[in-house]
Amino acid sequence: MATLYKTAQTEFKDVEDLIEEREKKSNIKQRVLMVSSRGVTFRQRHLMNDLEALLPHAKKESKIEAKQDIELLNELADIQNCNNVFYFESRKHQDLYFWISRAPSGPSVKFHVQNIHTMDELKMTGNCLKGSRPILSFDASFDTEPHFQLLKEIFTQTFAVPKGARKSKPFFDHVFSFSIVDGRIWFRNYQIVEKDPETGGDLAKNTKPTLVEIGPRFVLNTMRIFEGSFGGPTLYENPKFISPNAVRAAIRSRHSAKYAERASRVVGREAREQANPLPQDPLKDVFE
């Protein structure tokens, strides 16, 4: 407040006018807290590191126990001065669940992450400046359903790097692509290439820039959307979602059905042999 009075004295302005100008200029900064549960695999950990490198406004926190109360993440976000939370929950060392929450009031979304491919694994030719701001590209299908519109707004507030964020650069040199295919959200990251790949010089005046994929890749299958942060009333539940445990149980039951069919054939063959015994050979004891 003292600086406002000094500014008012030097510039001959009213203090209240300066306060209003300061409030107009200031906006809510989006900060993301990234937390994972214990038991994550190396691929899941590398995916988390890739997202941390792509989001300069993200802060990484130590791992937490998955069995603890998940609502403690709201307190961690308050301590770290973050209003968004990315929580990577690993189960059975093979299933990854991705939470995106607006702390502390909500809403929050729970996804099942599939088809994970990290940047080290893909080794794409694309590259971007570390700390640069991305352009968000959404499929037209995001405007068709109410829950897709909500997800679009959540992705915009979490993945878009705000202007003036810490460790960020004032450049746009890559694109985050969100596409809806088969009811799932496909994430891709592309570099914006404004130079000729053959000569290395600048493109012609009417030539459009090209896109080269950087990575990572993953697919998000929406499970539920909650009204609160990490809980509360359910706003949307995906009726087509099948849990990985149910998929593995179906595979085991299919294999067990094959075994049961093979065992029933063995029992049937033994029953037929007992019902139809072979006749005694009259020449069996001739050479004894």
Which of 272, 216, 271 is CA-nearest to residue 98? 216
- pLDDT 10s digits, 56-99: 999 998 888 866 667 789 999 999 999 999 999 999 889 999 99
pLDDT, tens digit only, all 288 positions of the chain = 444 344 444 544 554 564 555 544 445 578 999 999 988 999 999 999 999 999 999 999 888 886 666 778 999 999 999 999 999 999 988 999 999 999 888 899 999 999 999 998 888 888 888 889 999 999 999 999 999 999 999 999 999 998 888 788 888 899 999 999 999 999 999 999 887 766 667 777 777 888 999 989 999 999 999 999 998 999 999 999 999 888 888 888 887 777 778 888 888 888 888 888 878 877 777 776
Would you say the C-alpha torsion 217, 38, 95, 148 has a positive or negative sign?
Answer: negative
Query: How far, in Å, CA of 92 to CA of 195, rounded?
Result: 46
Q: Which amino acid is at 116?
A: I
Tens of pLDDT, residue by residue over 113-148, are: 999 999 988 888 888 888 899 999 999 999 999 999
